[in-house]
Structure 1
Amino acid sequence: MNINLHIKEQMVKFKFKNGFLKILAIYFGACFSAYSQDNKTVLTINKDEEAPIISKHIYGHFAEHLGRCIYDGIYVGEDSKVPNTNGVRNDIIDALKELKIPNLRWPGGCFADTYHWKDGIGPKEDRPSMVNRWWGGVTEDNSFGTHDFLNLCEVLGTEPYLAANVGSSTVQEFTEYLEYVGHKGGSPMAELRKQNGREKPWNVTFWGVGNEMWGCGGNMTPEYYANLYRQYATFMTDWTNSDNMFRIASGANVADYHWTEVLMRDIPKNLIEGVALHSYSFVTWEKKGSSTKFDEAQYFSTMQTALKMEELVTKHSAIMDKYDPKNKIALIVDEWGGWYDVEEGTNPGFLYQQNTMRDAMIAGTTLNIFNNHSARVKMANLAQTVNVLQAVILTEGEKMLLTPTYHIMKMYTAHHDAKLLPLKLESPSYTFNNESLPAISASASMDKNGLVHVSLVNIDSKKENKIEIDITKLGVKNFTGTILTAPKLQDHNTFDAPNKIKPAVFKTFENKKGNLTITIPPFSVVMLEGK
């Protein structure tokens, strides 16, 4: 029984013969009214012809030469017993095709600024090896190189995003790389590519000019990097005399707004198309905690850092607005996701972690933030694709599983290249230890076929929330729903139970006279489709 309702009913039975009880009744009535209001969220969705398109590239991924992301993850070699195509696992190919990944960033990360691309071309048996100094000190044999990656992108139907070496390379090496992958023929690097079995160029659009230049890319100041970027960008071309080159500067670490200010101020606008931003979610940076054995305090702290993305995107965008009021330069959040302690018994440098409903909350809320800021945020990359950090896929020998994060990314494919529908939302609070966070996150869009999609996240660990959606301006009559939820926040898929968490049909809603009322369970993500 609802104890509050029971008390209210008992008090109504009194005849209230004195003023004190009357005052008490008014007080309790106000409490019940507040309780009712707090327990329902009103969400208003509007159409706006001036609203931006949500770029599909917001749903990009990241595959670094780190731990078991490439080797023993994506790439098992042509002689493996695991079914593969040119050494790449077939089950991973199929899963990523289902996910419709729009772009894939490679080879790093920190690895990118120690990587020399010529070491990864030509006969595999002739390729030199190197030590991966950043990630576990393992020996890298370069058996997965440029051809392997770019051919994989073709198979997946995804855009490659190459992070080029600036920290330990030269302008000449960089421009030769551009020539190798982009020149049609008749040049030294194009002829070398043809000798290595590739006649046509790959025509790569997205190029990162270094990675984390404030840290593992060289511990540079923003002023120094801005000048270095200008030098590299000046010599960049796609060899087609077109505007197809998309140059992305290595951007800020979390809230380093000065870094963004310097890049936007000092780099000529004809030399840059995007500025990067990196931010991860964790309990604390010093004590990240277990990926599966966490309590509510650790969950709450993780969601605090995840929701900080709203502030980061807003403030970095405001700086960019000063120098680029027409939004011609994109904000590229090319590393984001949850970061915890590695699983017990695994190499600390491999960053292998499990993936629970907490990660689904991070994914859903972060993607909603990106959608709602899609006027400036044009691209993002979840870290990372397989077996590293907030991976969408985990492997163990011949086994493979899809994580809760994978399912969120797949549900949100409905927003790819759809028109943003602006919304107004007054969220109830998720409160823990006298601190509060917005419990409800949402974003909405309309695709080219007129279908409306609304993604909703309730991060509250205990309380369901009612959401009333005003859809009178959308002209939508019928809705269907999909939900991802589980009995416990710590629940996750395992190789013995790979389908413990998977999307299900959602029916806990009703549509009356243009108002759609839904009840969303604790720590759940819902995608509604209306037509």
Structure 2
Amino acid sequence: MIFKKQLSILLFLAGSALAANAQTTANLSISNDSKLIVSKYIYGQFAEHLGHGIYGGFWVDKSMPVEKQDRIRLDIVKALVKIKIPSLRWPGGCFADEYHWRDGIGPAEQRPKMVNTNWGGTTEDNSFGTHEFLELCSLLHCEPYMAANVGSGTVEEMSKWIEYVNSNSTSTVAEMRKQNGHPDPYKVTFWGIGNESWGCGGNMTPEFYSDQFKRYASFAKNYPGAPLKKIASGPNSDDYNWTEVIMKNIPDYFMWGISLHYYTVPTGNWGHKGSATSFSESEYFATMQRCLKMDTLVTKHSAIMDKYDPEKHVALVVDEWGVWTDVEPGTNPGFLYQQNSLRDALIAGTNLNIFNNHCDRVRGAALAQTINVLQSLILTDKEKMLLTPTYHIFDMYKVHQDAKYLPIQLISPDYVVDGKKMAAVNVSASQDSSGRVHISLVNLDLHNNITISTALKNIQWKTVNGQILTSANITDINTFDQPDKIHLENFKGAKKDGDNLVVVLPAKSVVTLELQ
């Protein structure tokens, strides 16, 4: 069986490398008749106390020979500043509902230790707490998104945490923050009221959780300059009943948003999720089918929200998404460390296109997770650091942040494997404040280049340039020995043809074009 699988993979890679220059065609129309904005918060990130995401990722040993501020690793900070991450979610995840914020303030040597029962059973010394996280966000120039403990915490604990970071009064709690080195309030506005309350956050029913949310939210107070954006713990994947109950039971003025969690699991089997680096074309195809399910989920959950909130006051916040594979061989299974291939870049581009195209309702998201965990932007090995293919997608797509959404109509050829088919191409487009139009295109077909003829309605432009991310094989990765094997390159496959745009989109690639 092992030999057969290896042979299948070799034949698949050979077929990809020797793919003919066959071309199929797609038709795309982009119009300039929308007033919607692609929220920058769609490009948010997630950092949980899990594996080497915080400890050994953002927060390193004092002796490590890298540039640091306190123990915050600055080469990572610089890389994330470059892609303009707008928000960072912390401390979890499942960890959030066992985290007690008072353990993570005051002199580091006096902070109590705890065992991370969710992820690997490791001992945490709480040296990375509220002040360290908010200092990290300041260095990243991003907004903090903090998840309150509803599962094992209390209303009082959450209320005092908000007061600690946001109040400028002379209360005991606010004075404690000042004594701990931050005289001014942090003014944190994004707050999650629990996490995955249907599962690790308490195994609640939606009826019970909706009552708990209203109770907790009632004591989540606004302080001057910090009106709270309260985000309810939303559904797991296709649990449409959860969304129905939450929207029915919680008035829209109580919550800024409701979360959605969905992971692309290559096999669809949580017991054996599949390899991050070794897979056949049929396995790749199945993975992309599961990735594209995100569009169905967002559409159906949005339709339920529309019943109770037709004016779309409440945001859908996809604050955990990405590919989830088996861990790398030899690593702690509780640390969720996985490699990141060209396939994962196509998954990232596809999901971001889906979110952009649903920006009327999707106004926030968070990739899981930023460093060394799941579909990471960055991997580290002691002082070494590399940028994954997924990082480069966020670099390409940053042009869409807070830009005007441009509606699209796409007729795509099919990508067919084993008699099954899916649309080969997916696209999103926006126009920034200076009038430049950006179009992001993903070709999921491993073999065929696709020629896309694009009509641009009420859009004036003269020149086009772009960037592309691709590689010889869909299984290619960046390693510490070859950190730049997959990297952005200039794209020359687009041209003006009269008033139309013609693009030759290479197989297994992501391209972002700029028209001006």
Structure 2, unaligned runs of 5 or more: 1-21
Residue in 1 aligned with 2:433?
Answer: 448
SS at match of 1:253: coil
Distance in 1 separating the partners of 2:74 and 2:148:
28
Query: Could you tell me how far 1:188 is from its partner in structure 2?
Result: 1.2
Distance in 1 separating the partners of 2:380 and 2:164:
33
Structure 1, unaligned runs of 5 or more: 1-36
What is the aligned residue count? 493
Query: Could you tell me how far 1:461 is from its partner in structure 2?
Result: 1.4
Residue in 1 aligned with 2:358?
Answer: 373
Query: Could you tell me how far 1:464 is from its partner in structure 2?
Result: 1.3
> Of residues 75, 81, 91 in structure 1, which corresponds to 2:59?
75
Residue in 1 aligned with 2:137?
Answer: 153
> Of residues 182, 186, 189 in structure 2, which corresponds to 1:205?
189
Query: Could you tell me how far 1:268 is from its partner in structure 2?
Result: 1.7
Distance in 1 separating the partners of 2:61 and 2:161:
25
1:359 aligns with 2:362: no
SS at match of 1:431: strand
- Matches of residues 170-249 of structure 1 in structure 2 within 5 Å? 170-240=154-224, 244-249=227-232
Distance in 1 separating the partners of 2:457 and 2:164:
54
Residue in 2 aligned with 1:525?
Answer: 510
Query: Could you tell me how far 1:509 is from its partner in structure 2?
Result: 2.1
| Aligned residue identity for 1:315 | K
Residue in 2 aligned with 1:66?
Answer: 50
1:90 aligns with 2:40: no
Query: Could you tell me how far 1:504 is from its partner in structure 2?
Result: 0.3
> Of residues 244, 248, 271 in structure 2, which corresponds to 1:261?
244
1:469 aligns with 2:454: yes
Query: Could you tell me how far 1:222 is from its partner in structure 2?
Result: 0.3
> Deviation per CA, 1:63-93, whole angstroms, max 9, x where unpaired?
0000000001111033432221110111101
Q: Is 2:64–2:382's contact at 8 Å kept on the other side of the alignment?
A: no
Residue in 1 aligned with 2:279?
Answer: 294
| Aligned residue identity for 1:89 | R
Q: Is 2:355–2:362's contact at 8 Å kept on the other side of the alignment?
A: yes
Distance in 2 separating the partners of 1:427 and 1:512:
20
Q: Is 2:187–2:226's contact at 8 Å kept on the other side of the alignment?
A: no
Query: Could you tell me how far 1:254 is from its partner in structure 2?
Result: 0.3
Distance in 1 separating the partners of 2:67 and 2:169:
35
> Of residues 110, 127, 130 in structure 1, which corresponds to 2:114?
130
> Of residues 252, 256, 260 in structure 2, which corresponds to 1:273?
256
Distance in 1 separating the partners of 2:417 and 2:152:
46
Q: Is 2:326–2:338's contact at 8 Å kept on the other side of the alignment?
A: yes
Alignment RMSD (CA, Å): 1.2
Q: Is 1:122–1:196's contact at 8 Å kept on the other side of the alignment?
A: yes
Query: Could you tell me how far 1:477 is from its partner in structure 2?
Result: 1.5
Q: Is 2:234–2:259's contact at 8 Å kept on the other side of the alignment?
A: yes
Residue in 1 aligned with 2:15?
Answer: none
Query: Could you tell me how far 1:473 is from its partner in structure 2?
Result: 2.6
> Deviation per CA, 1:308-353, whole angstroms, max 9, x where unpaired?
0000000000000011111110000000000000001100000000
> Of residues 422, 428, 443 in structure 2, which corresponds to 1:458?
443
| Aligned residue identity for 1:265 | K
Query: Could you tell me how far 1:472 is from its partner in structure 2?
Result: 4.9
Distance in 2 separating the partners of 1:146 and 1:472:
49
Distance in 1 separating the partners of 2:451 and 2:513:
15
Residue in 1 aligned with 2:418?
Answer: 433
TM-score (norm 1): 0.92
Distance in 2 separating the partners of 1:399 and 1:81:
10
Q: Is 1:203–1:238's contact at 8 Å kept on the other side of the alignment?
A: no
Residue in 2 aligned with 1:312?
Answer: 297
Residue in 1 aligned with 2:13?
Answer: none
| Aligned residue identity for 1:272 | M
Residue in 2 aligned with 1:53?
Answer: 37
Residue in 1 aligned with 2:309?
Answer: 324
> Deviation per CA, 1:206-246, whole angstroms, max 9, x where unpaired?
00000000000011000000000000001111322x67210
> Of residues 349, 352, 355 in structure 1, which corresponds to 2:334?
349
> Of residues 24, 31, 40 in structure 2, which corresponds to 1:39?
24
Distance in 2 separating the partners of 1:367 and 1:261:
25
Q: Is 2:320–2:366's contact at 8 Å kept on the other side of the alignment?
A: yes
| Aligned residue identity for 2:444 | I
Query: Could you tell me how far 1:294 is from its partner in structure 2?
Result: 1.1
Distance in 2 separating the partners of 1:411 and 1:478:
18
> Of residues 363, 378, 396 in structure 2, which corresponds to 1:393?
378
Distance in 1 separating the partners of 2:246 and 2:30:
36
> Deviation per CA, 1:97-154, whole angstroms, max 9, x where unpaired?
1010000000000000000000000011000011100000111110100000001101
Q: Is 1:76–1:87's contact at 8 Å kept on the other side of the alignment?
A: yes
Distance in 2 separating the partners of 1:319 and 1:66:
33
Distance in 2 separating the partners of 1:127 and 1:445:
47
1:512 aligns with 2:497: yes
| Aligned residue identity for 2:47 | A
Larger CA deviation: 280-289 vs 337-346: 280-289
| Aligned residue identity for 1:246 | K
Query: Could you tell me how far 1:38 is from its partner in structure 2?
Result: 8.9
Distance in 1 separating the partners of 2:376 and 2:397:
16
Query: Could you tell me how far 1:270 is from its partner in structure 2?
Result: 1.9
Distance in 1 separating the partners of 2:432 and 2:456:
16
Q: Is 1:59–1:381's contact at 8 Å kept on the other side of the alignment?
A: yes
* Higher relative contact order structure (alpha carbons within 8 Å, sequence separation ≥ 6): 2
Distance in 2 separating the partners of 1:509 and 1:90:
37
Distance in 1 separating the partners of 2:35 and 2:457:
18
Q: Is 1:357–1:489's contact at 8 Å kept on the other side of the alignment?
A: yes
Question: Percent of aligned pairs with the same residue?
Answer: 55
